[in-house]
Amino acid sequence: MSKLEAYAPAAAAAKPLKPTELLASLRSALDPWTPGTPFWIFGYGSLMWNPEFAFDAHHVATVRGYHRAFKVWSRINRGTPENPGLVLTLERGGSCRGIVYRIAPDQVQEEMHRIWKREMRFGSYCPKWLNCVVGDKTIRALVFTVNRDCSGYAGDIPLEVVVEAIASAAGRYGPAHEYLFNTIEVLRQHGIRDSRVEHLAQLVRQRIAARRAA
């Protein structure tokens, strides 16, 4: 058994939400929002470099009490059942700078259905309304935070396992390392530093280079 196999849960453990469950979770998340008012959603990973939804404003913002962490197994988009990759969630503690997007009130239902099918198929996150600090202003936004009870939650696994998963896995949307490197690039473009993610990217690049040289 490889180190990766020792930590990744069995593929059978990944259970997608039923359509009714997916819709119910979306309705629950949208319940605090008042229709007709500005709607904001915070992106910290792929929503920054590949949002795939319509928005009419965006700002660099900070969420306090959470930090980026590669702790969600990806068995479809950035990996396979046999060789899963890892993607981001927001784990508790610290702070996170990302992008907060505004969706026009008349487009919220359509765009959020699109986002929900992409992000919440396996219930990988706990959507929460959190304060996002933009300059001297505070915006209340929907944020995808860690769901430690979901089947894809990786928990506290060794850094070497994280590096191996990201360096070796690839799925429907491409390699797991591409997800990491795209995140690093979009953070750089917006003047955002994340030392944890930068260090991880360095280790993953070294691992990929070593594999190619072997």
- Tens-digit pLDDT string for the chain (214 aa): 467 777 887 777 778 899 999 999 999 999 999 999 999 999 999 999 999 999 999 999 999 999 999 999 999 899 998 899 999 999 999 999 999 999 999 999 999 999 999 999 999 999 999 999 999 999 999 999 999 999 899 999 999 999 999 999 999 999 999 999 999 999 999 999 999 999 999 999 999 999 888 7
Question: What's residue 1's pLDDT?
Answer: 46
Q: Which of 52, 119, 185, 198 is catalytic?
A: 119
Question: What's residue 2's pLDDT?
Answer: 63
Please confirm, yes or no, whether 119 is among the known catalytic residues.
Answer: yes
Structure tokens that stand for 214 in this block: 């072997």
| 91 within 8 A of 147, measured Cβ to Cβ | no
Among 49, 74, 93, which residue's Cα sits nearest to residue 162? 74
Phi, psi of 203 (to 5 degrees): -65, -40
Its pTM surpasses 0.75: yes
Which CATH architecture is the domain 14-213 placed in?
A: Roll (3.10)
Domain boundaries, the chain: 14-213
Q: What one-character-per-residue DSSP string does 172-206 give?
A: TTEEHHHHHHHHHHHHHHTT---HHHHHHHHHHHH
Q: How far apart are CA 38 and CA 60, in angstroms?
A: 17
Phi, psi of 118 (to 5 degrees): -80, -45
Q: How far apart are CA 142 and CA 33, in angstroms?
A: 9
